[in-house]
C-alpha cells in the first residue's frame, strides 16, 4: 500500500469521507473513487454502475466496486441525474486502479444542487482526514 505522500490526489477535485471524488466542469460533474480507495481495495475486478437517467440524492448508494479483497459500496457525493457512465469499466475495471481520475472515472451527473460541492473536502482537508 502507498504512503499518504505517494497518493495521487488532484487539487481540482473534491473528496468525500467515503473516498469518492467529484470534479465539476461546467454543468458536468464527473465522479469516481480516490487513489487512496483503489489502493486500499487492491486489484479491482468488477464495477457495478447505475443506468443513465437514474437520479440520486447526496449520500445514496449508486453502485459497488469489487476487488480481490472485498466488495465496497459507492456513495453519491452530490445529488443529481446520471448522464453518462464509463462503459469501458465493464471490460476493463482495472482502469480504476491504473488511473482513478482519468481512465477510471465512473459516471457523470447533472448536479441538482451544485452548491453541495461546498460541503466536500479539498485535497488538503482530505489528506488531513487520511492522516487521522
Q: Is 62 a residue whose pLDDT tops 90?
A: yes
The overall average pLDDT reported for the chain is 97
pTM of this prediction?
0.96
Q: Is 27 a residue whose pLDDT tops 90?
A: no
CA distance linking residue 93 with residue 45, whole number of Å: 6
Residue 21 has a pLDDT of: 98
Which single residue is written with the C-alpha cell 454543468? 27
Residue 127 has a pLDDT of: 97
| Range 14-24 average pLDDT | 98
| Range 3-30 average pLDDT | 96
- Residue 117, C-alpha cell as written in the block: 460541492
Given CATH 2.30.42.10, say whether it is the number of domain 4-113. no
Domain coordinates in residue numbering, the chain: 4-113
Confidence of residue 61 (pLDDT cuts 50, 70, 90): very high
- Maximum distance among all Cα pairs of the chain, rounded to whole angstroms: 38
90 contacts 106 by C-beta, under 8 angstroms = no
Q: Is 86 a residue whose pLDDT tops 90?
A: yes
CA distance linking residue 79 with residue 16, whole number of Å: 13
Residue 26 has a pLDDT of: 86
Confidence of residue 65 (pLDDT cuts 50, 70, 90): very high
| Range 54-83 average pLDDT | 97
Q: State the DSSP H helix or E strand holding residue 96, giving kind and residue range, or none if neither.
A: helix 95-98
Q: State the DSSP H helix or E strand holding residue 128, giving kind and residue range, or none if neither.
A: helix 123-131
Amino acid at each position: 500500500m502507498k504512503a499518504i505522500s505517494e497518493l495521487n490526489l488532484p487539487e481540482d477535485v473534491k473528496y468525500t469521507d467515503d473516498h469518492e471524488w467529484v470534479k465539476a466542469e461546467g454543468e458536468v460533474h464527473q465522479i469516481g473513487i480516490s487513489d487512496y480507495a483503489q489502493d486500499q481495495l487492491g486489484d479491482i475486478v468488477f464495477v457495478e454502475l447505475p443506468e443513465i437517467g437514474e437520479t440520486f440524492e447526496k449520500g445514496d448508494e449508486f453502485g459497488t466496486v469489487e476487488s480481490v479483497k472485498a466488495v465496497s459500496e459507492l456513495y453519491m457525493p452530490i445529488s443529481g441525474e446520471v448522464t453518462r457512465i464509463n462503459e469501458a469499466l465493464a471490460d476493463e475495471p482495472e482502469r480504476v486502479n491504473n488511473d482513478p481520475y482519468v481512465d477510471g472515472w465512473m459516471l457523470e451527473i447533472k448536479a441538482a444542487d451544485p452548491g453541495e460541492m461546498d460541503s466536500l473536502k479539498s485535497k488538503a482537508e482530505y489528506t488531513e482526514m487520511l492522516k487521522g
